[in-house]
């Protein structure tokens, strides 16, 4: 019987475990599936202790060229002394592995493990460390050009194109889509009024939420998951972290005054290592609105492979409510 075509398979943990042991020459490793998300993430342990992360990219999510760009970026960061989880080469010097999966060729990368765990209630010390380390990352990413170029993160790519993608999703909730598009026009006007030509540019991680960095017991930080990296205003990274405080206030974890204080501590620490203008700081809340739209469109585009367990008409309505609350609190429109 002919094998029926598939669009998304899951690699066997046992087979992947054997592959990693053979390919990287390190015995006694165990492998288990940690997360089926944007990519499939496997935890690789030795003697019960986390040792590596192996990430297998979805075929529809990232091309080989895009993965090469991510790996190249992380190599630059690691070699420059940034606190990042970095790609590990196998015994033959290869950092990207190929797998002939049922849906076609897929690619995987073994990463060093980010020791520690995510911290959502950040202390003053942790906020300061985070600000300084993000600045050090930006000092590197603003000074390099990748051979395997990542996409350009401009207004067209992050906002206008995603709004076009989202139009069919809101066919049963047109007033919600009207709110998003009219608010987007106002956000663009606010950004156009700022000296954006003077904004610092470089490669951004574009998902600097606490889920993507760990603190160990000694408060050493490690950044990971640069899967969405692109080239644009560095302030986009500050904006993604700004979203964390909105979530924390919305869930009654901290007060608005606490959030303002904590973000100011983070910004001051960043500025102690790298410049960040008042105009860039003013832009952060508006860039936060754009962050919401970009990822909402991504969720819609990848419904069949990833987001179908939560993406629905109800989710779209709720998401507009969340975005409306965010803009009312943080954007003068």
Task: For residue range 105-125, list pLDDT tens digits in order.
Answer: 999 999 999 999 999 999 999
Task: Find the DSSP H helices in the chain.
Answer: 13-24, 64-79, 124-141, 155, 161-166, 174-192, 235-250, 256-271, 278-301, 313-330
Instruction: Compute the average pLDDT of residues 298-317.
Output: 93
Among the residue ranges 36-40, 86-90, 260-264, 295-299, the one predicted with the least confidence is 36-40
Please give the Cα distance from 8 to 24 (Å, whole number).
26
Which band of pLDDT confidence, cut at 50, 70 and 90, is reported for residue 89? very high
Condensed to tens digits (0 to 9), the pLDDT of residues 115-164 reads: 999 999 999 999 999 999 999 999 999 999 999 999 999 999 999 999 99
| Whole-number Å distance between alpha carbons of 191 and 283 | 7
At 240, the pLDDT band (50, 70, 90 cuts) reads very high
Reading phi first (left if > 0) and then psi (alpha if -120 to 50, else beta), residue 189 is in alpha
Strands 104-112 and 152-153 come out as unpaired
Which residues does 69 contact at the CB level (< 8 Å), separation at least 6?
A: 146, 148, 149, 150, 229
Please report which confidence band the pLDDT of residue 48 belongs to, taking 50, 70 and 90 as the band edges. confident
Q: Is residue 290's pLDDT more than 90?
A: yes
Find the range with the poorest average confidence among 187-191, 222-226, 305-309. 305-309
Q: Is pLDDT larger for residue 217 or for residue 1? A: 217
Nearest to 86 by CA among 115, 113, 61, 118: 113
Please state at what angle helix 278-301 crosses helix 313-330, rounded to 10 degrees.
180
At 47 the pLDDT is: 87
Antiparallel, parallel or unpaired: β 152-153 and 230-233:
parallel
Q: Residue 43 pLDDT more than 90?
A: yes
Over range 203-218, report the average pLDDT.
Answer: 97
The pLDDT assigned to 309 comes to 86
Provide the pLDDT for residue 37.
Answer: 84
pLDDT of residue 220: 96
Query: Is residue 1 over pLDDT 90?
Result: no
State yes or no: pLDDT of 306 exceeds 90. Answer: no
User: Residue 14 has what pLDDT?
Assistant: 96
What is the pTM assigned to this prediction? 0.96
Whether residue 2 has pLDDT greater than 90: no
Q: Would the pLDDT of 215 be above 90?
A: yes
DSSP state of 160: I
Answer yes or no: is pLDDT of 322 > 90. Answer: yes
Q: How many CA atoms are closer than 13 Å to the CA of 113, on its beta-carbon side?
A: 15
- What is the predicted pLDDT for the residue at 39? 94
Q: How far is 268 from 88, CA to CA, in rounded Å?
A: 34
């Amino acid at each position: 019987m002919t094998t029926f075509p598939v669009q998304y398979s899951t690699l066997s943990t046992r087979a992947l475990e054997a592959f990693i042991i053979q390919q990287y020459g390190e015995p006694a490793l165990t492998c288990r599936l940690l997360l089926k998300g944007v990519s499939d993430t496997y935890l690789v342990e030795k003697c019960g202790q986390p040792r590596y992360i192996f990430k297998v990219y979805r075929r529809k999510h990232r091309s080989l060229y895009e993965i090469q760009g991510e790996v190249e970026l992380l190599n630059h960061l690691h070699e420059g002394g940034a606190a990042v989880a970095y790609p590990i080469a196998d015994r033959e010097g290869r950092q990207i592995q190929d797998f002939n999966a049922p849906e076609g060729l897929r690619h995987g990368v073994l990463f060093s493990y980010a020791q520690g765990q995510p911290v959502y209630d950040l202390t003053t010390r942790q906020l300061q460390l985070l600000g300084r380390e993000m600045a050090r990352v930006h000092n590197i990413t603003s000074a390099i050009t990748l051979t395997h170029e990542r996409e350009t993160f401009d207004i067209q790519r992050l906002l206008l194109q995603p709004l076009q993608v989202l139009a069919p999703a809101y066919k049963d909730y047109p007033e919600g889509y009207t709110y998003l598009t009219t608010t987007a026009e106002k956000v663009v006007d606010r950004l156009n009024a700022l000296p954006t030509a003077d904004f610092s540019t470089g490669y951004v991680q574009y998902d600097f939420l606490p889920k993507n960095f760990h603190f160990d017991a000694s408060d050493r930080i490690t950044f990971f998951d640069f899967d969405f990296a692109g080239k644009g205003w560095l302030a986009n990274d500050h904006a993604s972290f700004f979203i964390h405080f909105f979530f924390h206030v919305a869930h009654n974890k901290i007060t608005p005054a606490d959030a303002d204080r904590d973000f100011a501590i983070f910004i001051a620490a960043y500025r102690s290592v790298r410049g960040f203008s008042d105009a860039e700081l003013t832009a952060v809340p508006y860039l936060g609105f754009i962050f919401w739209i970009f990822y909402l469109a991504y969720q819609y585009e990848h419904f069949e492979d990833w987001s179908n367990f939560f993406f629905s008409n109800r989710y779209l309505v709720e998401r507009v409510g969340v975005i409306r609350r965010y803009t009312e609190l943080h954007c003068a429109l």
